[in-house]
Chains A and B, each alone.
Chain A
Amino acid sequence: MDMLICVFCFVFFPPPVSHSQITRLYSRFTSLDKGENGTLSREDFQRIPELAINPLGDRIINAFFPEGEDQVNFRGFMRTLAHFRPIEDNEKSKDQNGPEPLNSRSNKLHFAFRLYDLDKDDKISRDELLQVLRMMVGVNISDEQLGSIADRTIQEADQDGDSAISFAEFVKVLEKVDVEQKMSIRFLH
């Protein structure tokens, strides 16, 4: 069924992704889908060992599941993966009037921002920052040290004085970062 949706999309909205890339990702999707019901659950993702040992593994998995849902179909899978397509691919499509593509620099940063911003209020609060920090460092750092890291980070990024990091402030902090290289996955043809 998902393949049909894909074919429909390709015919009427040709994407700048090659046919073979879609097919390979589809076979990847089916190999992850142990239940063989055309959708992936969180457990299916957690079965990937390299993802299970990633400190941010759970957050990354959450990014695939829309609010309140437990299953993701192939279209959703591709949509989320699309954030990591290289930015240079967009030159091929040259669609000036369409919506901004998912893998633009701005949308990539927005995706990264949402990894921090759990409650989706467009601000990274001190608590949200602490949560992510704790996930990354495990038990190796005390609460106090972690608290001071969080405070310092907010202090340096915060420009409007609300003790939280908004998306604009986030973008400013990352303006010198090569987002293209750090958030892109290249396919082998």
Chain B
Amino acid sequence: TLQIEKGVKKQKALALENLISNGIIQREETSMEEEVAGQRQGCFNLADILYFSKKGFEAIADDEVTRRFSSEELISWNLLSRTNVNFHHVSWQLTVVWITGILIRYCLLMPLRVKCWLSNQVQMTCAALGVRCLSGAVHFHNRENRPQKGGICVANHTSPLDVLILASDGCYSLVGQAHGGLLGLIQKSCMKTTQHVLFERSEMKDRHLVRKKIREHIADKTKLPILIFPEGTCINNTSVMMFKKGSFEVGGTIHPVAIKYDPRFGDAFWNSMKYSVMTYAFKLMTSWAIVCNVWYLPPMVKEEEEDAVHFANRVKAVIAAQGGMSVLPWDGGLKRKKVKESLKEEQQKKYCQIVIENGTVGNGNVH
């Protein structure tokens, strides 16, 4: 009966977790060892493919990674049709409310915001005004931990809005992807006022160059703290993906910042592959509001025996814990490029270790 109780508890916990994570299917996190080895000694069995085929089909129905590169699905609808993925008619009263919402957002909120936005467009120092124009209700927590000069500020990345929000509460130098178009113009105008470091995504491969520039910047204690988003791309704010180790190798104090948007009021995630900046800005201005919480976390330094990857994961865990997001080891770069072949080889190696014992072929137990 103890086992049955444990089983029931596990099912309940799993159901709750799945509800929170908004998945489509129920995933049991069993390891390869449990599923393949079972009760027999290590050796190949015709049934072993069942494990891999089930895992494959689970990934096809719903996977942890590609889910993060599109907007979060909400458990209950916030009256924005763009977040209504599974449309089904509930009642005519709701439809009336929704139509009223549209009228308010498109005919009242947006024109006011456009007027505001145009007049402040050129002045980047009016970042605070910009946030207010989008009806940004930003709550800053633990302001005493705000990044100091000569430090590196790292945060989870959801949209260019993150920069606006952080810049409204402090001055930073930025490291980021050089954009074309409207955003590029804004970036160029920023360059004139403050020291920023801009890269092409292809140039980011030249890690030495990046590191050198960052190192030079933080060595000068009079320079503004440098703001870096180690995920390297926009993620949809439900999880924190792999932190690239570059910024954690240069030494210096890391000031972690957690940024969490409230999805009920508007979707702040910029899906740069789907929407241009203008479309994104329009979406923002026709949402209810941008509500977000910013937590400044206590500064962290790399310990002596620690390597950069371990340190990066430590910082990532702290940010995720504060923001209430899950931690994923996957690289945000998978949004654009294919997964590394070496990860597949790891899976194959793991299977071998189960099937082959001590380098010998194992005895012939099929059952």
Contact = CB atoms under 8 A, between A and B. Distances in A.
**A and B: real partners?**
yes
B61 interface: yes
Nearest to A177: B47
Of the listed residues A157, A165, A188, the one surrounded by the most CB atoms of chain B closer than 10 A to its CB is A188
A131 to B, nearest CB: 12
Contacts of A116: 46, 49
A152 B364 contact: yes
B115 interface: no
A65 interface: no
A31 B56 contact: no
Interface in B8-49: 15, 18-19, 23-26, 35, 43-49
Interface string A155-189: 01100000001000010011011010011111110
Interface in A9-54: 19-20, 23-25, 27-28, 31-32, 45-54
Given A24-B24, A156-B366, A188-B19, A132 B49 contact: yes
Contact of B86 (A27, A53, A145, A152): A27
B44 to A, nearest CB: 5
A115 B46 contact: no
A177 B56 contact: no
B49 A56 contact: yes
B307 interface: no
B92 to A, nearest CB: 20
Contact of A185 (B54, B88, B344, B367): B54
B199 interface: no
B25 A188 contact: yes
Contact of B66 (A49, A138, A170): A49
Interface in B54-69: 54-66
B46 A174 contact: yes
Interface residues of B, number: 55
Contacts of B347: 53-55
A136 interface: yes
B1 interface: no
B44 A157 contact: no
A73 interface: no
Contacts of A25: 24, 61
A84 interface: yes
Given A23-B86, A156-B366, A53 B344 contact: yes
Contact of A49 (B85, B330, B346, B349): B330
Contacts of A54: 52, 55-56, 59, 344, 347
Contacts of A152: 361, 364
B345 interface: yes
Contacts of A136: 48-49, 52, 348, 351
A60 B57 contact: yes
Contacts of B18: 188
A81 interface: yes
A96 interface: no
A137 interface: yes
Given A25-B61, A182-B50, A187 B366 contact: no
Given A24-B86, A60-B56, A84-B57, A185 B66 contact: no
A97 interface: no
Interface of B: 15, 18-19, 23-26, 35, 43-66, 70, 85-86, 88, 330, 334, 338-339, 343-349, 351-352, 355-356, 361, 364, 366-367
Nearest 10 interchain pairs by C-beta:
A138-B348, A50-B59, A60-B56, A182-B50, A186-B26, A56-B52, A140-B352, A53-B343, A49-B339, A51-B59
